[in-house]
């Protein structure tokens, strides 16, 4: 039996924990928190981690523009070339372009990703960002925090805390990228 919201998953093994409305509310709340903590929110650089982090960053930028009247800088950071596990992977996915402003020095940066798990992607992203410049602050915004950190890194803005076990997977689907309505679901490995 197919799940209509998530055709690539059978209904038996998956459970939807956020729908499009809940995702939109969470992103809007994070936008408000970013505006609250950054006196000049339009000066902020939002850096999404491809592919879904970039889409969430774009939505955050839309909300911040509505709140503040000015749009923050929207960029992206592909962290693959900064990861420390190249030799242990068996296949390589095509790299996405990294796009950050040249004048990163002294500007506040918010790193955006969909699922926060071991913290290793974030560590690689911090490394990537330092090769571009020295932001005044770097904060982390994530849609889902599923726990199981392997590094001393924490998120500053969290859409939803979702305690998981290691044999579960979090599937984030965003309509512009996946062609099906927005959703977050937990998939249990058989």
Residues whose CB is less than 8 angstroms from the CB of residue 21 and which lie 6 or more positions away in sequence, other chains included? none
Number of amino acids touching other proteins (CB under 8 A) = 27
The per-residue DSSP string of 44-86 comes to: PEEEEPTTHHHHHHHHHHHHHHHHHSSPPEEEE---GGG-S-G
Binder to other proteins among 59, 82, 146, 171 (CB under 8 A)?
82
Counting contacts by CB under 8 A, is residue 179 touching other proteins? no
* Shortest distance (Å) from residue 101 CB to other proteins: 12
Binder to other proteins among 15, 86, 151, 166 (CB under 8 A)?
86
Phi and psi of 111, rounded to 5°?
Answer: -85, 135
Return the structure tokens found at 123.
Answer: 């560590």
Counting contacts by CB under 8 A, is residue 92 touching other proteins? yes
* C-alpha–C-alpha distance, residues 94 and 91, integer Å: 10
Binder to other proteins among 8, 84, 103, 175 (CB under 8 A)?
84
Counting contacts by CB under 8 A, is residue 166 touching other proteins? no
Q: By the 8 A CB rule, do 108 and 139 touch? A: yes
Binder to other proteins among 24, 37, 43, 96 (CB under 8 A)?
96
Counting contacts by CB under 8 A, is residue 120 touching other proteins? no
* Shortest distance (Å) from residue 128 CB to other proteins: 8
Binder to other proteins among 1, 39, 93, 190 (CB under 8 A)?
93
Q: Cα angle at 167 between 170 and 11, to 5 degrees?
A: 60
Residues that bind other proteins (CB under 8 A): 51, 78, 80-84, 86-99, 127-128, 130-133
């Amino acid at each position: 039996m197919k799940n209509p919201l998530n055709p690539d998953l059978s209904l038996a093994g998956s459970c939807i924990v956020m729908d499009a409305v809940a995702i939109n509310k969470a992103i809007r709340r994070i936008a408000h928190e970013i505006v609250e903590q950054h006196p000049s929110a339009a000066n902020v650089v939002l850096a999404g981690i491809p592919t879904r982090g970039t889409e969430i960053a774009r939505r955050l930028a839309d909300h911040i523009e509505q709140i503040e009247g000015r749009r923050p800088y929207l960029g992206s950071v592909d962290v693959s070339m900064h990861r420390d596990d190249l030799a242990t992977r068996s296949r390589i996915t095509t790299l996405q372009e990294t796009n950050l402003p040249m004048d990163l020095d002294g500007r506040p940066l918010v790193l955006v990703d969909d699922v926060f798990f071991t913290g290793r992607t974030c560590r690689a992203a911090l490394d990537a960002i330092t090769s571009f410049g020295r932001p005044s602050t770097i904060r982390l915004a994530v849609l889902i925090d599923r726990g199981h950190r392997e590094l001393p890194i924490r998120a500053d803005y969290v859409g939803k805390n979702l305690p998981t076990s290691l044999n579960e997977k979090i599937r984030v689907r965003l309509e512009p990228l996946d062609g099906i309505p927005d959703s977050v679901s937990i998939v249990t490995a058989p």
